[in-house]
Chains A and B, each alone.
Chain A
Amino acid sequence: MTPPDEDRWIHTPPRKSATFDDAAIAEIRRAAASGIYDIRGGGAKRRLPHFDDLLFLGASISRYPLEGYRERCATDVTIGARFAKKPITLKIPITIAGMSFGSLSARAKEALGRGASAVGTSTTTGDGGMTAEERAHSSLLVYQLLPSRYGMNPDDLRRADAIEIVVGQGAKPGGGGMLLGQKISRRVAEMRVLPEGIDQRSACRHPDWTGPDDLEIKIGELREITDWQKPIYIKVGASRPYYDTALAVKAGADAVVLDGMQGGTAATQEVFIEHVGIPTLAAIPPAVQALQELGMHRKVQLIVSGGIRTGADVAKALALGADAVSIGTAALVALGDNDPHLEEEYRALGTTAGAYDDWHEGRDPAGITTQDPVLSMRLDPVAAGRKLANYLSVLTLEAQAIARACGKSHLHNLEPEDLAALTVEAAAMARVPLVGTDWIPGRGRE
């Protein structure tokens, strides 16, 4: 006879599959019930090799640091001097990424402009054209030319301080945009010349050019229209960064914007966000290599985005060779997105603060990713702009603290030699040694 307390040894406890985990099973159920793919905002949520896997070495006997707060560590960056008659100079190497009016409210766009202008950096329009609010409140505004060409016109082109040709985004390289009906308000519809309230798909390919040779001619046209004054950037989603960077340089770009797969989006298929493109960390070294091989590093500026959160991330991106970084998600969080004080409202939407990503539904309790007139009034553009300015200042101070510790008088003097990697993967991708070794996987020893 088995004693009763031995029963539990006979049954194994329930065990969940690592392959069919809760998220995978929930998605199967959701797909079976709805028949349509999941759409959401944000970037890749899975864990990926990232800047967290890198460390700075700091000064030691062989190199000395700069005195914090006393010795200068400059942060400025000039973009567009290759061809533009009027290059732009940013006081800090952190810009606000393109986010459309449509995906964001007009007040959110205004807040981004206020925050960026206060610290001397630029903002960027997005898929949907330029609003008067963002032009008025952004001292430096980059105007995107996207496949959809929503709202594109020569007056705004001339009003812009720089032009960004969007080939792709890190969240969805090869994909077009979508903006669902809830957010196609009358104003958004009018700017895009679309019927109000429809689920809008935007093209993934430019209508009037294909391939690098056409792109060169397209850039030539934009330069002619604007009398060669404006810097012209090309934005690509990270997939083949070495070739895309080389082709962008060849096509005559002044700057390359490289957006990794962690980069946010307003709305895209989940499967796209999580499975197409490569991580930001892995994308930078090949892009820098292409620039160096062409003798264009620091002449054609490299602006990196996708998962930048801290001054350490900024410093790491720059140390790997970027000239500047760009932020989307973090800027929205600084404005007040996903704030825990709205927890009750997030709960009502079936989510929780920190996880809310149904930006396409236009019901954002923080009033940022919405066109709802009542919700959007919740965001005070002055106060939110102030928070963004604070955040941008902190990022800069943090990056400077690291740079000084590495003995650098300009953020651009940070270099791969200042870095080591915590994991073999990160070492291989970032092309810096694994900590405590001189091993860079994939590099033969000299």
Chain B
Amino acid sequence: MADIDLARSSVRDLNAALHRLGMDTNETRWRVRNPRGQHSVAVGLEAPVTVEIDGHVGYYCAGMNKDATVIVNGNAGQGVAENMMSGKVWVKGDASQAAGATGCGGLLVIDGNASARCGISMKGIDIVVKGDVGHLSAFMAQAGNLVVLGDAGEALGDSIYEARLFVRGKAHGLGADCVEKPMEDRHKAELRRLLDAAGLGREVDAGQFRRYGSARRLYHFHIDHAGSY
């Protein structure tokens, strides 16, 4: 296993080494120590490797990730896994604002809470937050799934497009054009798949969640909805 100590090497060295890996690399396991809240740790990866980071990271950890698995044994700063394309990012602690922002694919799991704007403008990513999410989460969310085991802050799903939101706790207010929708069997099956992928066993019951999505009233400019724009 490759072992990188960020107290001795720079984030630049780490990312450069990770970017050099080809799709068929044998160096598939990486451990990163002493991140000490530095920004842009393990960004722009595009090889199927696993990078495990021991400690807290700053902004944009695992940004634009493709294919790699990035595990943060700590908390993550703003924009963790932003614009992720594929692969998996797993934060064992809490995540700051804009976790998974504009993500296009892959799975982001946050064991703790996520702050405001979790899943903002998400475009296909799946996000599972085991704690709560802050206000304006899933703002303008276009596609993908956001699963929240705890509560959701104010204005959940404001101006949402086609993303699906599943919340087990309380949603403290829905944003413009976001409405509760019926939980049908296919939604439960989809939710079950996401919970399984996040390593949540049968102790979490898909039946306890409510589903939210777009009322699609803002899809066309209309005088009677002017107040919502």
Contacts and interface: CB of A to CB of B under 8 A. Distances in A.
Nearest to A223: B40
Interface stretch (B78-86, B127-135, B180-188): B78-86
B221 A193 contact: no
Contacts of B12: 224, 228
Contact of B161 (A195, A208, A220): A195
Contacts of B46: 154
B44 interface: yes
A218 B124 contact: no
Interface in A207-236: 207-209, 214, 217-218, 220-221, 224-228
A157 B44 CA distance: 10
B221 A199 contact: yes
B123 interface: yes
A301 B79 CA distance: 29
A209 B120 CA distance: 12
B59 interface: yes
Interface stretch (B98-106, B148-156, B199-207): B98-106
Given A153-B83, A208-B82, A218-B60, A148 B162 contact: no
A416 interface: no
B121 A148 contact: yes
B102 A220 contact: no
Given A194-B161, A227-B16, A208 B102 contact: yes
Nearest to B77: A217
A168 B219 CA distance: 24
Contacts of B11: 224
B226 A220 contact: no
Contact of B226 (A35, A149, A203): A35
Interface string B36-48: 0001100110100
B75 interface: no
Given A149-B121, A217-B59, A181 B220 contact: yes
A208 B229 contact: no
Interface of A: 34-36, 148-149, 152-154, 157, 180-181, 192-195, 198-199, 201, 203, 207-209, 214, 217-218, 220-221, 224-228
B195 interface: no
B65 to A, nearest CB: 8
Contacts of B63: 221, 225
A157 B123 contact: no
The secondary structure that dominates the B interface is loop
A217 B58 contact: yes
Of all A-B residue pairs in the complex, the 10 with the closest CB atoms, nearest first, are A225-B44, A35-B223, A208-B79, A149-B102, A154-B64, A198-B219, A208-B98, A221-B60, A207-B120, A208-B101
B219 A195 contact: yes
B102 to A, nearest CB: 4
B110 to A, nearest CB: 15
Contacts of A214: 59, 78
A193 B124 contact: yes
17 contacts: A36-B221, A36-B226, A149-B83, A154-B83, A157-B64, A181-B219, A198-B161, A201-B159, A201-B229, A208-B79, A208-B98, A209-B78, A221-B40, A221-B82, A224-B11, A224-B40, A224-B43
B143 interface: yes
B142 interface: yes
A92 B223 CA distance: 47
Contacts of A153: 64, 83, 85, 104
A221 B142 contact: no
Given A181-B220, A217-B58, A224-B15, A207 B98 contact: yes
B29 interface: no
Contact of B59 (A36, A154, A201, A221): A221
Nearest to A158: B44
Interface string B41-74: 0011010000000000011100110100000000
A148 B121 CA distance: 7
Given A148-B121, A207-B98, A207-B102, A217 B60 contact: yes
A34 B11 CA distance: 56
A35 B223 CA distance: 6
A207 B139 CA distance: 9
B41 to A, nearest CB: 9
A194 B102 contact: no
A221 B41 CA distance: 9
B220 A152 contact: no
A207 B117 contact: yes
A35 B226 CA distance: 9
A181 B79 CA distance: 31
Contacts of B220: 181, 198-199
A193 B120 CA distance: 14
Given A208-B79, A218-B60, 15 more contacts: A149-B83, A152-B83, A152-B102, A153-B104, A195-B161, A201-B229, A203-B140, A207-B117, A209-B78, A209-B79, A217-B58, A221-B63, A221-B79, A225-B63, A227-B15
B126 to A, nearest CB: 14
B172 interface: no
B85 A220 contact: no
A262 B126 CA distance: 42
A198 B19 CA distance: 38
Given A198-B219, A208-B79, A225-B64, A154 B102 contact: no
A208 B140 CA distance: 13
Contacts of A35: 223, 226
A437 to B, nearest CB: 50
A88 B19 CA distance: 23
Given A153-B83, A153-B104, A157-B64, A207 B161 contact: no
A34 B221 CA distance: 11
Nearest to B142: A193
Contacts of B85: 153-154
B95 to A, nearest CB: 12
A246 to B, nearest CB: 22
